[in-house]
Amino acid sequence: MEFKFTEQQEMIRDTADAFLAKSSASAAVRSAMVSELGYDPHLWSSITQEMFWQAIHIPEQYGGMGLGYVELVAMLEQMGRYLLCSPFYSTVCLAGNALLVAGTEQQKEKYLPEIVAGSTATLAYTGAKGGWDASAIDVVCEPQGDGFVLNGIYRFVPDGHSVDLLVVAARAPDTQGEAGISLFVLPAATEGITRQWLPTMDQTRKQAQLEFHDVSVDGASVMQAPGRAWPLLEKIIDLATVAISADQLGGSQKTLDSSVEYLQQRVQFGRVIASYQAVKHKAADMMVKVEASRSAVYYAACIADEALQGEALGSQLAEVASIAKAYCSDAYFHNAGSAIQLHGGVGFTAEYDIQLYFKRAKSTETFLGDGAFHRERLACILLDGEAVA
């Protein structure tokens, strides 16, 4: 198998690079990140109406472009590289994938065209106690007529305070673990939902808390496999994990590029500091981590593409997602920390953007599980595979 971009994929990546270099420059990022909304609506309009990125892997029958996950990941790498402030990840990689994987045909026909038209959405499943596996779900759904009533709190919801549409997970009363989990799709303005922006260390990607107080949903809001939806949700989370790994890859590359640029300009003891052997070694270590991350991410993207088409087993997707996330989390945080060291005393000051990448590195490291979480998960997957064999 040859892992090489096609001409179309190269064009998508280069177009994203050129667009974001202008629209997501330092000044634009700093302006957007200090607002409660967290992004520039005009930029989001350009992304959705001119670039049409939100539709890249949505099937053509729902108004999308019908491309694959590799193309999506190529764009996400550039978004991470430029710290794009937008609801793209929450809309496309969380809620969009949730509809593709677990939505009924009626839900896909209704909501996917809305996303293609520019509506925003997100996925919420982690409860007040935190965590990223099935045990993190603690919002309760109780049957009522042909629907359900939802009560509880979600935290760490990307763009949850501002989106138009919510996909949420909840469990039946007196259940735990992977049992009794259902998925629902509903408008964010549904009565009984209180949304609150939660300021975090990483200002470039907003998070929120959602409180559900006797929120009634009808049968049309219930997604596939009610009460048995954990395997579907796990697949959705794995797809989102591959996507966030691509974001980390782009940021890791940018920390290397910024450091090399600075090292070639900074003069100490009569010579540029890039000429010192110890500095070269640190930059070389950063480059190795970037290239290894790239291999993990794009292999995972190929498996994710097959998974969306039903050609890959869930265990395959889970395995490559955890490999990519574990490595990219460690690599991005290492590179961001090394970049601050290479920048010297100015590295952590607000004047330089490298501190923004350090914060994004830490927030993406913990989001959907850090390296330790995914290495443990990977060990469990491999041990289960050996037991089955």
Q: What CATH number has the domain bearing residue 165?
A: 2.40.110.10
Residues 338 and 196 in one domain: no
pTM of the model: 0.96
Structural domain ending residue among the three candidates 97, 119, 141:
119
Residues 151 and 139 in one domain: yes
The predicted structure's pLDDT at residue 301: 97
Residue 28: CA count within 13 A, CB half-sphere: 18
Evaluate whether residue 319 is within a structural domain. yes
* Long-range contacts, 5-11 (Cβ 8 Å, 24+): 5/74, 8/71, 9/70, 9/71, 9/74
Q: Which of 328, 321, 182, 313 is nearest to 239 (CA)?
A: 321
User: What are the CA-CA distances from residue 362 to residues 158, 180, 207, 227, 355 (Å)?
Assistant: 15, 33, 14, 34, 11
Evaluate whether residue 2 is within a structural domain. no
Evaluate whether residue 357 is within a structural domain. yes
Q: Which of 48, 40, 38 is nearest to 162 (CA)?
A: 38
The predicted structure's pLDDT at residue 125: 98
Residues 95 and 134 in one domain: no
Residues 176 and 297 in one domain: no
CATH of residue 240: 1.20.140.10
What tokens appear for 245 in the block? 């790994």
- For residue 133, give the amino acid letter: D
SS (H, E, C) the chain: CCCCCCHHHHHHHHHHHHHHHHHCCHHHHHHHHCCCCCCCHHHHHHHHHHHCHHHCCCCHHHCCCCCCHHHHHHHHHHHHHCCCCCCHHHHHHHHHHHHHHHCCHHHHHHHHHHHHCCCCEEEECCECCCCCCHHHCCCEEEEECCEEEEEEEEEEEECCCCCCEEEEEEECCCCCCCCCEEEEEEECCCCCEEEEEECCCCCCCCEEEEEEEEEEECHHHECCCCCECHHHHHHHHHHHHHHHHHHHHHHHHHHHHHHHHHHCCCEECCEEHHHCHHHHHHHHHHHHHHHHHHHHHHHHHHHHHHHHCCCCCHHHHHHHHHHHHHHHHHHHHHHHHHHHHHHHHHCCCCCCCHHHHHHHHHHHHHCCCCHHHHHHHHHHHHHHHHHHC
The predicted structure's pLDDT at residue 273: 76
Residues 111 and 206 in one domain: no
Distance of CA 317 to the CA centre of its chain: 16
Evaluate whether residue 21 is within a structural domain. yes
**Cα gap 143→357, rounded to integer Å:** 45
Residues 63 and 202 in one domain: no
The predicted structure's pLDDT at residue 388: 44
Q: Please state the domain count of the chain.
A: 3
CATH of residue 78: 1.10.540.10
Residues 381 and 238 in one domain: yes
Structural domain ending residue among the three candidates 187, 221, 255:
221
Residues 77 and 208 in one domain: no
Structural domain ending residue among the three candidates 168, 198, 221:
221
Residues 235 and 376 in one domain: yes
Evaluate whether residue 20 is within a structural domain. yes
The predicted structure's pLDDT at residue 386: 58
Evaluate whether residue 96 is within a structural domain. yes
Evaluate whether residue 178 is within a structural domain. yes
Residues 95 and 180 in one domain: no
Residues 12 and 156 in one domain: no
- For residue 5, give the amino acid letter: F
- For residue 147, give its domain range: 122-221
The predicted structure's pLDDT at residue 389: 46
Task: Please give the backbone phi and psi of residue 124, each rounded to the nearest 5 degrees, phi first.
Answer: -130, 125
Residues 205 and 256 in one domain: no
Neighbours of 101 (CB within 10 A): 21
The predicted structure's pLDDT at residue 129: 87
Evaluate whether residue 91 is within a structural domain. yes
Query: What separation, in Å, do the N-terminal and C-terminal C-alpha atoms of the chain show?
Result: 26
Q: What is the mean pLDDT of each run of 10 residues along the chain (389 residues)?
A: 82 97 97 96 97 97 97 98 98 98 98 98 94 95 95 97 98 96 98 96 96 97 97 98 98 96 84 86 96 97 94 87 98 96 84 94 97 95 68
